[in-house]
Chains A and B, each alone.
Chain A
């Protein structure tokens, strides 16, 4: 049983890789168990979230089930 966190852009460096498998559960709890520096970066309000490929407008109350993927999208740096 695992959910996936996906890190784009500079968040990948902070996380030490693009993908992290985590135990399913409330996103708040999952973030709380990460390294503080990474958790703070992920909570930055400019970072957008996509749950299974769809942007979410409200971060509150997200619960990741088995096989869910939550992507963290920092501000884009221009094409």
Chain B
């Protein structure tokens, strides 16, 4: 039901989604979100750092909370760590459900919480210099929609 992974290497979102869909043939719909490193605004690379004892356990807990809140057949949360290049996938969330609204809401909820609550620290390389990315106020505003 829950497939939660922290990935050190690049992944193929299309192959992952195909596999996920095959695992949930009874679902009436699957909603997915793919987050990628933006191209074209001067970022040469992104690096995500995590903290072993907390990051994956926190993602798994988020998966449990999401699954208890909506009626889902399955939920997939894949998140990269390490260095990632523009255009490459960072995160894939997919929710399979009997009914589409559950799937949409579950994917949206999971993404908002991954963005604001998960134990990741991000830095960007611009013109050869690494710079840490500070938290965004929007991420906290997004999460308040669910309380």
Footprint of B on A, CB under 8 Å? 8-10, 13, 50, 53-55, 71, 73-79
Contact = CB atoms under 8 A, between A and B. Distances in A.
A53 B52 contact: yes
B7 to A, nearest CB: 12
B121 A74 contact: yes
B116 interface: yes
B139 interface: yes
A79 B115 contact: yes
Determine chain A's interface SS by DSSP, over half rule: loop
Contacts of A8: 49, 51, 121
Contacts of A77: 120-122, 132-136
Chain B contact-residue range equals: 20 to 34
A36 to B, nearest CB: 21
Nearest to B119: A76
B53 A50 contact: yes
Given A9-B132, A13-B132, A79 B51 contact: no
Interface string B93-133: 00000000000000000000011111111100000000011
B51 A50 contact: yes
A54 B53 contact: yes
A13 B122 CA distance: 13
B67 interface: no
